[in-house]
Amino acid sequence: MAAPTFPLNAWYVVAWSHEVGKRSILARTICNKRVALWRRADNSLAAVEDACWHRLAPLSLGWIENDDVVCKYHGLRFNGQGACTLMPSQDSISPGACVKAFPVLDRHRFVWIWPGDPAKADASLVPDMHWNDDPAWTGDGKTMFAKCDYRLFVDNLMDLTHETFVHSTSIGNTAVAETPMETTHDGKSVTVQRFMQDIDAPPFWRAQLGKPGNVDRWQIIRFEPPCTIVLDVGVAPTGTGALQGDRSQGVNLRVLNTISPETETTCMYFWSLVRNYKLHDVTLTTLQRETNASIFVEDQIVIEAQQQRISEMPDMPLRTLNIDAGSFRARKIIERMIAEEA
Ligand code: FES
Ligand SMILES: [Fe+2]
C-alpha cells in the first residue's frame, strides 16, 4: 500500500462557514472520508460520516428535522453526535446504532473539521487566518476543486519564483526569479522571505499602488502544517522604507490559502485575498477576487498537468533545488505528523 500523504490528526477547512446551513446537508470528502455537514437551530455545527448505519445510504441525501439528520432511504435519524435517535417501525433503538461524528467548528469564516482521533482535537491548534474576519482587513475568496495531491499546491505557494513564468501578465516579472529568498523554520512553521528592491512593478501591483516609478516589493510566506499558507505581500515606492518596516506609502495584501486533501489526488483549495486599504470599496473587493481567481487558474492548469505526469511516472523522484527550500521544510513537517500517527 502506498504511504499516506496526509495526517488525520489536524484541522482542515471543509467549507466556507456560509456554505453550511440549517435547511440543507452539505456533502464533502476530506482525507478519504465522506462527511455530511449541517447546522442546528442554535447555529452550532454537526458533521457525521456520510453513510447510514443501516445500509450505508448517504445521509446527505436526506433532510434535517429537529437538529437531527433523517436518512432518505428508511428514515433512521441521527443527531450531531452520531447517535441514532429514531428507528421507524420498532419501539426501541438497536444498541450501538450510530455513525461516526467529527469535531467541527467555525473560525475565520471557514468550517474546520478534525478527521482523526476526536480526543486529540484541540481548538487552539486551528491555523491562524484571522485576517479573514478582522475588521481592519477586508476581502473575499473562493474554493478551487483541483485534481491533484494537495502538497503540490503547498510546493507552489512556498516558492513564488513561479510567478515569473506562470503569472507573467499579472503579478510576475523577472525581478522575482532573480531575487534569492531566505527560509527559516522552527519545527511548527516555515517562513520564506523575498525582498525585491528598486524594481519595476508587475501590472497587478502597479494598478494596486496607483503611483508611477520603481517599487520595493516584499513576499513573506508562512506555512502552518499541514496545509495553511499565509502570504504577506505588497509594494511601496522605492526608498520609502517598506523593506525596513514602514509600509505606510505602499499597499499590503494577505493571501490566505488552505488546501485540504479530499483524496491522494484531489483537493479543495480555499483561498481569500484581503487588504487593509480602501476597506469600503466593494467593487475593488470583487475585482481583486476575480483577478486572483484567474491568476490561480494559471497555477491549476500547470499543477493538474504535473499531477498527471506524477501519476503516470510513479517511480520518478521530484527533485529539490534552492528554490524548493521552503516546500522541502513544509513537507518534512507533514511527513513527521504522518509518521507520528503510524
Ligand atoms: S439506509 Fe438509512 S435508513 Fe436504511
Ligand atoms: Fe501561482
* Tens digits of residue pLDDT in 256-309: 999 999 999 999 999 999 999 999 999 999 999 999 999 999 999 999 999 999
Across 105-122, average pLDDT: 98
248 dihedral zone (left: phi>0; alpha: psi -120 to 50; beta): alpha
Q: Is the CB of 54 under 6 A from ligand 1?
A: yes
Query: What pLDDT is attached to residue 15?
Result: 98
Q: Is the CB of 55 under 6 A from ligand 1?
A: yes
Across 21-39, average pLDDT: 98
Contact 265, 148 (CB under 8 A): yes
Query: What pLDDT is attached to residue 3?
Result: 85
Q: Tell me, in angstroms, the distance from the centre of ligand 1 to residue 302's CA.
A: 42
Residue nearest to atom 1 of ligand 1 (CA): 55
Q: Is the CB of 332 under 6 A from ligand 1?
A: no
Q: Is the CB of 73 under 6 A from ligand 1?
A: yes
Contact 250, 242 (CB under 8 A): yes
Across 230-252, average pLDDT: 95
Query: What pLDDT is attached to residue 226?
Result: 98
Across 310-325, average pLDDT: 94
pLDDT tens per residue, range 127-168: 999 999 999 999 999 999 999 999 999 999 999 999 999 999
Across 93-98, average pLDDT: 94
Residue 19's CB: how many other CB atoms inside 10 A? Answer: 14
| 30: pLDDT strictly greater than 90 | yes
- Residue 111: how many CA atoms within 13 Å on its side-chain side? 27
Query: What pLDDT is attached to residue 333?
Result: 97
Question: What CA–CA distance (Å, rounded) separates 60 from 21?
Answer: 13
| 187: pLDDT strictly greater than 90 | no
What mean pLDDT value characterizes the chain? 96
Give the three cell numbers for residue 122. Answer: 484541540
* Of 76, 90, 99, best ligand 1 pocket probe by most atoms within 8 Å of the beta carbon: 76
CA 116 to chain CA mean position, Å: 18
The closest alpha carbon to 329, from 201, 191, 208, belongs to 191
Question: What CA–CA distance (Å, rounded) separates 184 from 6?
Answer: 23
Question: What CA–CA distance (Å, rounded) separates 305 from 318?
Answer: 15
Residue nearest to atom 3 of ligand 1 (CA): 74
Q: Is the CB of 57 under 6 A from ligand 1?
A: yes
Q: Is the CB of 22 under 6 A from ligand 1?
A: no
Set out the domains of the chain in order of their start, with CATH numbers.
12-125 (2.102.10.10), 130-341 (3.90.380.10)
| 175: pLDDT strictly greater than 80 | yes
